[in-house]
């Protein structure tokens, strides 16, 4: 079996495992927050950590599914090169481990299985995935950095317009930011306003608008 196809299978299994664990967490959260079948506002206020954690579990499960589907699309188009493969497997491996061991929601708050009343056995689908141990490895990270240093960046799979925006921004960073960023950091200085102005002229601050 081709390496690309095999990785696609592993990514799909990772997404399915995350979805299974999320479903268990959602059921536990529903029992705690919706005892009458509807969300209890007082309970939701009292258990904000639980609700916040559930949203992170949902985000990780959705992200893993999107990565698996991205891999399928790129593979079918013959564009799933080594950089894309490494990026996908590293993300999947890291997300599987964070789902099992705790998602850092901020510097001091984690979403853990125990918050939902889930036991270690409930995380078995995650640790049973090949990418749990072989996804985010030092070797994979080192190889991806090497590829990036050589100029081989992962193809995002964006449409032509968004890909052109990415190319424009990379060119701007290479020309205007990279040569000066270290000195700005050493000087503990703000990014110069002329740089901000040029970014504005490129339309960066309107990217969220239709």
Q: What pLDDT is stored for residue 65 in this prediction?
A: 98
Averaged over 24-30, what is the pLDDT?
95
DSSP E strands in 4-134: the ranges are 103-106, 109-111
Q: Which range, 3-17, 142-156, 192-206, is most confident?
A: 3-17
Q: What pLDDT is stored for residue 151 in this prediction?
A: 81
pLDDT in tens, 125-135: 999 999 999 99
pLDDT in tens, 72-85: 999 998 889 999 99
Q: pLDDT confidence of 160, banded at 50, 70, 90?
A: confident
pLDDT in tens, 187-203: 999 999 999 999 898 88
Averaged over 146-157, what is the pLDDT?
81
- Euclidean distance between CA atoms 19 and 13, whole angstroms: 10
Could you say which DSSP state residue 110 is in? E
Q: What pLDDT is stored for residue 209 in this prediction?
A: 56
- Exposed, middle or buried: residue 60 (CB in 10 Å: 0-12, 13-18, 19+)? buried
Strand partners, 106: 109
Residue identified by tokens 């950590």 is 49
- Evaluate whether 33 touches 39 at the Cβ level (below 8 Å): yes
Q: Is pLDDT above 90 for 94?
A: yes
Q: What pLDDT is stored for residue 178 in this prediction?
A: 93
The predicted model scores a pTM of 0.78
**Chain Cα centroid distance, residue 177:** 25
pLDDT in tens, 164-185: 888 888 899 999 999 999 999 9
Phi, psi of 102 (to 5 degrees): 135, 125
Q: Is pLDDT above 60 for 114?
A: yes
Residue 108: strand, helix, or coil? coil
Q: What pLDDT is stored for residue 1 in this prediction?
A: 53
pLDDT in tens, 33-69: 998 888 889 999 999 999 999 999 999 999 999 999 9
């Amino acid at each position: 079996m081709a390496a690309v196809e095999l990785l696609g299978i592993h990514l799909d299994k990772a997404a399915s495992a995350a979805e299974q664990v999320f479903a268990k967490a959602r059921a536990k959260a529903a029992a705690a927050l919706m005892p009458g079948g509807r969300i209890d506002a007082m309970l939701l206020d009292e258990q904000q950590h639980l609700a916040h954690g559930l949203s992170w579990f949902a985000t990780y499960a959705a992200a893993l599914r999107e990565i698996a589907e991205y891999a399928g699309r790129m593979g079918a188009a013959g564009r799933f090169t080594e950089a894309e493969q490494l990026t996908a497997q590293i993300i999947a491996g890291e997300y599987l481990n964070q789902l099992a061991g705790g998602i850092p929601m901020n510097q001091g708050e984690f979403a853990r299985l125990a918050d939902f009343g889930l036991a270690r056995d409930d995380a078995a689908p995650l640790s049973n995935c090949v990418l749990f141990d072989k996804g985010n490895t030092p070797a994979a990270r080192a190889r991806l950095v090497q590829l990036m240093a050589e100029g081989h960046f992962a193809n995002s799979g964006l449409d032509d317009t968004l890909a052109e925006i990415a190319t424009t921004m990379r060119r701007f960073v290479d020309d205007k930011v990279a040569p000066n960023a270290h000195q700005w950091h050493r000087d503990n200085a703000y990014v110069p306003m002329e740089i901000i102005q040029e970014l504005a002229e490129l339309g960066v601050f309107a990217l969220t608008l239709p």
